[in-house]
Amino acid sequence: MAPFLEALGEGLARQALHPYPLPLSGAGGSDGVGDAEGCALAPALASGRLRLVSGARVRTLAVAPDGRRVEGVEAEIGEQRWLFRGRQVVLAAGAVNSAVILLRSRGAAHPNGLANGSDQVGRNLMKPQLSVILQRASQPNDGRYDRSWGITEFFAGDRNVDYTLGTVQSGGGVLRDSLFAASPPVLSLVARLLPDGALEWLADRSFTWWVMTPVLPDPANRVTLRGQQVHVDYLPNCREAHDRLVYRWLGEIQKVDDDPLTPESRRTIVYPRGEAPLALMGHACGTCRLGSDPATSVVDLRGRCHGIDNLWIADASVFPGCPAVGPGLTVIANALRVASAVVAHG
Ligand SMILES: Cc1cc2nc3c(=O)[nH]c(=O)nc-3n(C[C@H](O)[C@H](O)[C@H](O)COP(=O)(O)OP(=O)(O)OC[C@H]3O[C@@H](n4cnc5c(N)ncnc54)[C@H](O)[C@@H]3O)c2cc1C
């Protein structure tokens, strides 16, 4: 961890907070990044037991006439249409696209979409409310550092508040953080007001903070299809909790700025901040929720679709609730769990 980040962590600790180093996937891939390709796909391919078809866009899942088995996966590769067959089929296209594939897979046995007998597919879409706050650094940094600190102090509430507010993480450097790369509108107001030179100046003299509040599942927040168009209805809830956390965190970093023992940061008049827009779906989950009751869920507790013998879902769509931290590790852990169930099922 860079020394200025270490110092920032010590400054937070002096405010009676308990920052912990975030678990980061820093090794494993050939490029030094522990991503899914380096850590999982490459070794699986090397085993010789996996065939990977890339560039395939799955359109629908074809079911047997009785509606109880998936017979084939229909995909487009370039201009061509392909049908893949398998004894077991695992859907893992992410919270939005897994729902879309199921909804598109309509047929006589499943007129409202596959596994959608109880009209649950696409519902309960969730993504944590995420605001990014910029804190001014006194010395330039290269803007290319990783996310480093996690703070869970306010997860279970705060003074006079006994409901979840969420978590805080130090963000990556502005020039490297995936959030800024994926979603320039997050700080669009700042970007609009400042000339390029000043933006660069701000980028290398900043710490950033991600403030994340989980939302509650709401059946009205959903992914639907209108013809071939994907439509998203979404109203974030838990707004008050998120506002409280944002203002609480602003108060904490101001205390750090005022602490003479933390000269690495300095007080400013404004702390630019922005909220992730709806379009930022990186942490989306919940459209094919897991549960034991087919009337209120899409997959059972093992990840198999209710009423369909050989269709499993192993992505963030099965989350019944919204995490207050990045969902990646939970998605991976659950996928391993589902994989064991698929193997056991045969
Ligand atoms: C920029 C960014 C940074 C993030 N950083 C973090 C982080 O630091 N920590 C963390 O915990 N989480 C992070 N997340 C969130 C995390 O990546 C997701 O929560 C997680 O990847 C979700 O897993 P998933 O399997 O549900 O979906 P995905 O990982 O999105 O996998 C779905 C896959 O299905 C493919 N697909 C979709 N539709 C089709 C189709 N029709 N046919 C064929 N293939 C299809 C997609 O191309 C994709 O490869 C980040 C997300 C983003 C976008």
| Three-state SS annotation for 40-85 | HHHHHHHCCCCCCCCCEEEEEEEECCCCCCEEEEEEEECCEEEEEC
Q: Whose CA is nearest to atom 3 of ligand 1?
A: 178
Strand order in the sheet with 129-136: 20-21, 149-151, 167-170, 206-213, 129-136, 273-275
Total domains, the chain = 2
HSE-CB for 219 with a 13 A CA cutoff: 8
Q: Whose CA is nearest to atom 35 of ligand 1?
A: 93
Distance 282 CA to ligand 1 centre (A): 6
Probe residue for ligand 1, chosen from 208, 315, 330 as the CB with the greatest number of ligand atoms within 8 Å: 315
Note whether 66 and 195 are same-domain residues: no
Note whether 219 and 314 are same-domain residues: no
| pLDDT one digit per residue (tens) for the chain, 346 residues | 888 889 999 999 999 999 999 887 765 445 556 778 888 889 999 999 999 999 999 999 999 999 999 999 999 999 999 999 999 999 999 999 999 999 999 999 999 999 999 999 999 999 999 998 888 888 888 777 788 899 999 999 998 999 999 999 998 777 666 666 555 556 666 666 666 666 667 677 888 899 999 999 999 999 999 998 999 999 999 999 999 999 999 999 999 999 999 998 888 888 888 888 888 888 999 999 999 999 999 999 999 999 999 999 999 999 999 999 989 989 999 999 999 999 999 7
What pLDDT is recorded for position 174? 72
Distance 92 CA to ligand 1 centre (A): 9
Probe residue for ligand 1, chosen from 37, 145, 177, 178 as the CB with the greatest number of ligand atoms within 8 Å: 178
Q: Whose CA is nearest to atom 16 of ligand 1?
A: 328
Rounded CA-CA distance 160/145 in Å is 36
Distance 153 CA to ligand 1 centre (A): 28
Q: What is the CATH number of the domain that holds 57?
A: 3.50.50.60
Q: Is residue 325 in a domain?
A: yes
Boundary of a domain, candidates 225, 251, 275: 275
Q: Which domain holds residue 269?
A: 3-30+128-275
